[in-house]
Amino acid sequence: MRSNTVTIHEKLCRWIEEAYLPQQPTERITVLTRSACCNLTALAHVTPRFAVGEGFVYAGYESYPCETIPTFITYLEDKPAYRTGALLFKFEKEDGTGFEVLVASDWIDDDNVGIDMMGMACLPPEYADRWLEFEEECSRISRSAIAYKDKVYIVGGKDVTFDAMVKWEDVHLPAELKTTILKDIDSFFEKGVAIYQRLNINPFRKLLLAGVPGTGKTMLCSAIARLSQTKGRFIVYVSGSNRHGAQFWKIHQALDMAASSDMPTIVIVEELDSYLDEDSKAQLLNVLDGSETPNNPCGTVLIATTNHPEIIDDRVLKRPGRVDRIFIIPELSDEEDVERMLSAYLGDQWREEHQTIVPRLLGKPGAFVREVALYALTIAAYQDMDGLPLSLLEESLDTLTRQIEAKDGFLTAHKRAPIGLGPANRRGNGRL
pLDDT digits (tens, 9 = 90+) for 102-126: 999 999 887 666 688 999 999 999 9
Averaged over 198-217, what is the pLDDT? 92
- pLDDT value, residue 335: 92
In a domain, 376, yes or no: yes
pLDDT greater than 90 at residue 384? yes
Bigger pLDDT: 50 or 292?
Answer: 50
217-260 residue pLDDT tens: 999 999 999 999 999 999 999 988 777 778 888 888 899 899 98
In a domain, 15, yes or no: yes
Q: Examine the domain organization and report whether 319 and 177 are in the same domain.
A: yes
In a domain, 221, yes or no: yes
Angle (nearest 5°) at CA 275 between 270 and 279: 155
- CA atoms 339, 342, 348, 352: torsion sign: negative
- pLDDT value, residue 411: 53
Q: What is the mean pLDDT of the chain?
A: 87
pLDDT greater than 90 at residue 36? yes
Residues of the domain holding 43: 5-144
301-334 residue pLDDT tens: 999 998 887 766 665 666 666 788 999 999 988 8
275-311 residue pLDDT tens: 777 666 667 766 776 666 778 999 999 999 988 877 6
| 98-110 and 73-76 beta bridge pairing | unpaired
Q: In terms of residues, how long is the chain?
A: 432
Q: Examine the domain organization and report whether 321 and 350 are in the same domain.
A: no
Q: What is the CA radius of gyration of the chain?
A: 28
Q: Which of 249, 250, 229 is nearest to 239 (CA)?
A: 250
* Spatial distance between the Cα atoms of 226 and 168, rounded to a whole number of angstroms: 8
Q: Examine the domain organization and report whether 138 and 261 are in the same domain.
A: no
Residue 34 maps to which CATH number?
3.30.530
pLDDT greater than 70 at residue 358? yes
Q: Examine the domain organization and report whether 234 and 302 are in the same domain.
A: yes
4-30 residue pLDDT tens: 666 888 999 999 999 999 999 999 999
Phi-psi region of 96 (alpha: psi -120 to 50; beta: other; left: phi over 0): left
Tally Cβ neighbours within 10 Å of residue 363.
12
Output the pTM of the full model: 0.76
Q: Which of 103, 21, 23 is nearest to 62 (CA)?
A: 103
In a domain, 187, yes or no: yes
Domain count, the chain: 3
Q: Examine the domain organization and report whether 275 and 387 are in the same domain.
A: no
**DSSP single-letter state for residue 287:** H
Q: Examine the domain organization and report whether 172 and 302 are in the same domain.
A: yes
Contact assessment for residue 100 and residue 89, using Cβ atoms and an 8 Å cutoff = yes
**pLDDT band at residue 133, thresholds of 50, 70 and 90?**
very high
Averaged over 89-106, what is the pLDDT? 95
Q: Examine the domain organization and report whether 91 and 178 are in the same domain.
A: no
Percent with pLDDT over 90 in the chain: 62
Between the alpha carbon of residue 140 and those of residues 43, 125, 287, 288, the distances in Å are 11, 23, 20, 23
Bigger pLDDT: 98 or 428?
Answer: 98
In a domain, 150, yes or no: no
- pLDDT value, residue 350: 95
- pLDDT value, residue 78: 85
Contact assessment for residue 332 and residue 338, using Cβ atoms and an 8 Å cutoff = yes
First-last CA distance in the chain: 41
Q: Examine the domain organization and report whether 174 and 304 are in the same domain.
A: yes
- pLDDT value, residue 428: 38
Q: Examine the domain organization and report whether 238 and 96 are in the same domain.
A: no
* Spatial distance between the Cα atoms of 145 and 149, rounded to a whole number of angstroms: 7
Q: Examine the domain organization and report whether 206 and 242 are in the same domain.
A: yes
Averaged over 367-385, what is the pLDDT? 94
* Spatial distance between the Cα atoms of 147 and 165, rounded to a whole number of angstroms: 20
- pLDDT value, residue 314: 64
Long-range CB contacts for residues 177-185, cutoff 8 Å, separation at least 24 = 177/327, 177/329, 177/330, 178/220, 180/327, 181/207, 181/209, 181/220, 181/224, 181/327, 182/224, 182/227, 184/325, 185/224, 185/228, 185/266, 185/301
Q: Examine the domain organization and report whether 208 and 323 are in the same domain.
A: yes
Averaged over 43-68, what is the pLDDT? 94
Q: Examine the domain organization and report whether 46 and 120 are in the same domain.
A: yes
